């Protein structure tokens, strides 16, 4: 995983990595930091605004929190939708008009939420208390958040990596 070295983003990403890895009792999920984005499966960036590019086979999941920042995770699938392609890309950006403390607080929630998507939770939770709810407002995993990531990582996937060339 690569976190753009901007402000508190690397620390927010490290906290989110520990949060999600901590959902497992037997260390089934290990996350490491890449120093170069070209060697990362997940890239987290902090642009001034969220990119609006729409390309074929691109899918997006969004989150907002305390309405001070927003996030999106983009991933690509092969043309036949049987494989994930390229690194997952998560972006977190501020909304204008908020003070830096409010934006920093918002980043904690949204970075963790977007990392949940990048790790494979490709849907939002309907429960307002879950971190994976579209408007997350806390920085802990509920029982449902933990159960979802555990189920995901303990269930054989029907989508695999692209074939080797």
As averages over each run of 10 residues, the pLDDT of the chain (165 residues) reads 94 95 90 94 92 59 74 84 83 90 89 93 92 88 95 78 63
Backbone φ/ψ region at 67: left (φ over 0), alpha (ψ -120 to 50), beta: left
Nearest to residue 15, comparing CAs of 24, 6, 3? 3
Domains of the chain by residue range: 2-153
Q: What is the pLDDT of residue 63?
A: 67
Query: Any idea which fold 2-153 has?
Result: Collagenase (Catalytic Domain) (3.40.390)
**How many other CB atoms sit within 10 Å of the CB of residue 135?**
14
pTM score of the predicted model: 0.87
- Residue 108, both tokens: 């904690």
Q: What is the pLDDT of residue 162?
A: 62
Helix (H, G, I), strand (E, B) or coil at 20: helix
């Amino acid at each position: 995983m690569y976190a753009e070295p901007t402000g508190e983003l690397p620390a927010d990403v490290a906290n989110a990595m520990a949060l999600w890895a901590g959902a497992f009792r037997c260390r089934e999920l290990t996350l490491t930091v890449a120093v170069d984005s070209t060697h990362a499966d997940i890239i987290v960036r902090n642009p001034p605004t969220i990119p609006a590019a729409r390309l074929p086979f691109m899918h997006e999941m969004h989150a907002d929190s305390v309405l001070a920042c927003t996030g999106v995770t983009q991933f690509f699938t092969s043309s036949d939708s049987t494989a994930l392609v390229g690194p997952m890309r998560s972006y977190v950006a501020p909304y204008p008009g908020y003070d830096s403390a409010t934006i920093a607080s918002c980043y904690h929630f949204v970075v963790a939420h977007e990392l949940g998507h990048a790790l494979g939770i490709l849907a939002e939770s309907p429960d307002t208390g879950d971190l994976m709810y579209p408007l997350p407002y806390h920085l802990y995993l509920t029982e449902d958040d933990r159960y979802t990531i555990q189920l995901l990582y303990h269930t054989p996937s029907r989508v695999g990596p692209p074939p080797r060339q």
